[in-house]
Structure 1
Amino acid sequence: MSVVISGSVATDHLMSYPGRFSETLLPDQLAKISVSFLVEDLDVRRGGVGANIAYAMGVLDQNPYLLGAAGADFDEYDQWLRRHGVDTSLVRIFDTLHTARFVCTTDSEQAQIASFYPGAMSKASSADLSFVIDSIGMPDLVLIGANEPGAMVELTRQCREAGVPFAADPSQQLASLDAKQVLELVDGAAYLFSNHYELELILHRTGWTLEELDSRVEIRVTTKGADGVSILSDAGETNVGVVPAREIADPTGVGDAFRAGFLTAVRAGKTFERAAQLGSLIATYVIETTGPQEWSIDRADALARLEEAYDAEAAADLGELLPR
């Protein structure tokens, strides 16, 4: 089963602010906002929604294809991804542009203020379904993550017309999408991934009720932070709690990690409950690490954490999917 992960490829510049943004941002002055935060540190990390998900699936020995666009500075990043099990042959390189860049500051309460420079991502529409089929044949599933909005909409349309199952994961781009684009991205999805806030934004933009949304997607997966995740399918609703974090270092990429774990278990024929449990484990590894691709798995530790968070049966079942 070939899985193609489409989404942004970026470099993350992550900073920490020791105070709280809420103490500086004045609600009645937001139209004239002009503030600067003195940060404590700077970490430059590899990131991007597509690359983060592909990296995590690569660590889990899934050999995903990464579909996207990168700039002339991608070579070192490319080698990193390949070393961790990602097939980057579907990444289009544009020598006159830089790879996209994410700049994010996180305060003491894990609130974030971020900016995103698209760079080569603006050319992502060249990485379309015909390019995929010409390169690797018809894929079994395409996850369409945050990317250049036009490229996201076009790839979704192409998957729908070709009958290729797709997972809709607009996430960070929802704020940039209009109602028509959101409708295009969601309608007919095999999976819809979002967090709780993003779900409400989808409903607001489309004007759909929750029931109308659910009638247009096969499986809705909604993460709820510390409250776990909810999966709605024809079989009903499944709720799964989190794997407790030992420490919180950086929330960047946590949702991407969850998706990678979830899809890994689904590909292996596991139940949605098991898929959410594995996704939650991988998400916890990421939140305990600064940077979305700096984590690793210790098999014994992972099994112990699964058993502690869920039960011995879950650990044994998901142990089949952990790297040895």
Structure 2
Amino acid sequence: MRIAVTGSIATDHLMVFPGRFTDQLIEGQLDRVSLSFLADRLEVRRGGVGANIAFGLARLGLRPLLVGAAGADFAEYGSRLRAVGVDTSSVRISEGLHTARFVCTTDADQNQIATFYAGAMAEARHVSLVEVGRTAGGLDLVLVGADDPQAMLRHTAAAHDLDIDVAADPSQQLARLDAEQTERLVDGARWLFTNEYEAALLQERTGWREAAVLQRVGTWIVTRGGDGVSVLSSNAPRLDVPSVSSEAIADPTGVGDAFRAGFLAGMAWELPYQRAAQLGCALATVVLESVGTQEYKLLSADLVARLDSAYGRTAAQDLEPFLAGVS
């Protein structure tokens, strides 16, 4: 399966605040918040949802095509992505803007406060998915991840026009999309990815209840953090897959992107939803135990052991042949 992953390409500045954000919030004063948190750790890492998902797919042995926009400072980052198997030939390089920046602070309860600077991402709207597909010799699936909103709308429309399956993943951009834009991104998608909060926001933004969303998409995958994942569709029973537990949590940034990579790899291998979701959960936990979204080590034996422990030997045996080349 030839997968194009569209979405942000960014540098992550990840900080850790040893206290709790909620301890600093004063009831009755939330309409004029002015807070500063003294972080005791800073990590500068490569990220962006598009790049993170493409990286995860490549680490699992696929060769995804990354579609997005970056700055002239992308040269080293691009080389690293290509080294693991990501095709970066469709990344637009801006002549005047830096690669996007994601600045995030995580507290002791794993709550996060983040700011995202778009930078070169604003030029993603100038990338033609039609041309990308032509150059690539055809596409089987386009994941439309959080990106410049106009780029997201353009890629979605182009994929539908070309009769290419769409995985809609609006995530962080839901906060700035209006009802019409949200509907255009979701309607007709084969897969829709959200977390629990985004699921509620999507329904509030569109006015659609769960049943109405499921009338418009093939399958809706809702990630629920430590409670696992729910897979919903209008023509099949709800599927709930528990998370893979961890006692070495390091940083939640990029965990959702890792899940998507694992799940989409399962789709590329034509696995049932349960196995694809289990693989996604296992990969998500690997990332949860790492600082940075692309700094994790991935070993076949480790993934199989996690699957065995969380879901049983049958699940591990079903997935093991597809993970043989992971190293």
Question: Please, what TM-score do these two structures have when normalized by structure 1?
Answer: 0.98
Q: Does 1:291 align with 2:292?
A: yes
- Once structures 1 and 2 are overlaid, which stretch shifts more, 293-302 or 262-271? 293-302
* Alignment match, 1:218: 218
* Alignment match, 1:11: 11
SS of the residue aligned with 1:320?
A: helix
Q: How far 1:134 moved relative to its partner?
A: 3.1
Q: How far 1:235 moved relative to its partner?
A: 2.9
After TM superposition, the structure 1 = structure 2 runs for residues 305-320 of structure 1, keeping only pairs within 5 Å, are 305-320=306-321
* Alignment match, 1:97: 97
After TM superposition, the structure 1 = structure 2 runs for residues 1-324 of structure 1, keeping only pairs within 5 Å, are 1-233=1-233, 234-322=235-323, 323=326
- Once structures 1 and 2 are overlaid, which stretch shifts more, 21-30 or 135-144? 21-30
CA distance in 1 between counterparts of 2:35 and 2:264 reads 41
CA distance in 2 between counterparts of 1:200 and 1:287 reads 24
Q: Deviations over 1:13-51 (max 9, x none)?
A: 000001111111224222222111111011000000000
Q: How far 1:236 moved relative to its partner?
A: 2.3
Q: How far 1:95 moved relative to its partner?
A: 2.3
Aligned residues: 324
CA distance in 2 between counterparts of 1:125 and 1:131 reads 13
CA distance in 2 between counterparts of 1:174 and 1:290 reads 26
CA distance in 2 between counterparts of 1:244 and 1:167 reads 27
The percent of aligned pairs where both chains have the same amino acid is 52
SS of the residue aligned with 2:306?
A: helix
Q: What's the RMSD between the two structures over aligned residues?
A: 1.0
Q: Deviations over 1:280-315 (max 9, x none)?
A: 000000010001100011222221111110011111
SS of the residue aligned with 1:39?
A: coil
SS of the residue aligned with 2:105?
A: strand
- Structure 1 residues 211 and 307: CA distance shift in structure 2, 3 A: same
Q: Contact 2:283/2:303 (CA < 8 Å) preserved in 1?
A: no
Q: How far 1:238 moved relative to its partner?
A: 1.3
CA distance in 1 between counterparts of 2:158 and 2:303 reads 38
CA distance in 1 between counterparts of 2:133 and 2:27 reads 50
Q: How far 1:139 moved relative to its partner?
A: 0.7
Q: Contact 1:128/1:151 (CA < 8 Å) preserved in 2?
A: no
SS of the residue aligned with 2:304?
A: helix
CA distance in 2 between counterparts of 1:187 and 1:301 reads 38
Q: Deviations over 1:243-297 (max 9, x none)?
A: 1113111000100000000010111111100000000000000010001100011
Q: How far 1:133 moved relative to its partner?
A: 2.2
Q: How far 1:137 moved relative to its partner?
A: 2.9
SS of the residue aligned with 1:74?
A: helix
CA distance in 2 between counterparts of 1:304 and 1:85 reads 25
CA distance in 1 between counterparts of 2:72 and 2:181 reads 30
Identify unmatched segments of 5+ residues in structure 1.
none
CA distance in 2 between counterparts of 1:239 and 1:130 reads 36
SS of the residue aligned with 1:200?
A: helix
CA distance in 2 between counterparts of 1:215 and 1:185 reads 14
Q: Contact 2:226/2:243 (CA < 8 Å) preserved in 1?
A: yes
Question: Please, what TM-score do these two structures have when normalized by structure 2?
Answer: 0.97
Code of the aligned partner of 1:57 = L
CA distance in 2 between counterparts of 1:38 and 1:257 reads 29
CA distance in 2 between counterparts of 1:271 and 1:132 reads 29
CA distance in 1 between counterparts of 2:195 and 2:212 reads 18
Code of the aligned partner of 1:218 = G
Q: Contact 2:245/2:285 (CA < 8 Å) preserved in 1?
A: yes
Q: How far 1:158 moved relative to its partner?
A: 1.5
SS of the residue aligned with 2:46?
A: strand
